[in-house]
Amino acid sequence: MFCGASRGAAMETVDAAPYAQTERRIARLTIVLGVIAAVGAYFLFSVQVGAGVLIGALLAWVNFRWLKNALDAITRASTAQAQSAKVRLPIWSIFGLIGRYLLIGVSVCVIFVFFGIPVLSMLVGLCALGAATIGASLYEVFQSWE
């Protein structure tokens, strides 16, 4: 029986290998879908639009990596300090959670101002992470049916 107020709550370890494989699949799919969309945008619209989609996809990949690393660090720290009354989190992991939005915002602004890449094309590229997550999730669902 578990109780949230109980300091003696049992910690169950979970095998993270299947989740790590899905995370790698999402990271790869983000890049692959971004490159495919960038090539399509290049042929359908212009070099600048294609570059914007590719830049957005790369920013989405960096965003995903920072989020993964920050959450892994927070999970490790909280698990290691499970019996402690006060949990101390690594400051760089908290920066990783917040700083990724700052990185995306500043990068998009600088690229738009200095290189004239359309903002909308970079936003479309950022959607590559969502498409990759949906694709990886569908893969996991269909694979479980076998």
Question: What average pLDDT does the chain have?
Answer: 86
Per-residue CA distances from 121 to 6, 45, 50, 111 (Å): 51, 10, 7, 12
Answer whether 90's CB lies under 8 Å from 66's CB.
no
Quote the percentage of the chain above a pLDDT of 90: 55
Q: With 90 as the cut, is the pLDDT of residue 109 above it?
A: yes
* pLDDT tier, 129 (very low <50, low <70, confident <90, very high otherwise): very high
> Measuring CA to CA, which residue among 63, 18, 36, 33 is closest to residue 128?
33
* pLDDT tier, 12 (very low <50, low <70, confident <90, very high otherwise): low
Could you report the per-residue pLDDT of 63-76, keeping only the tens digit for each? 999 988 888 888 88
Q: With 80 as the cut, is the pLDDT of residue 7 above it?
A: no
Ramachandran angles phi, psi of 145, nearest 5°: -75, -25
Q: Which tokens sit at 74?
A: 């927070």
More confident of the two residues 90 and 62: 62
* CA 49 – CA 56 distance, rounded (Å): 10
Could you report the per-residue pLDDT of 79-98, keeping only the tens digit for each? 777 777 777 777 787 787 88
Residue appearing with tokens 């101002």: 113
Residues in the chain: 146
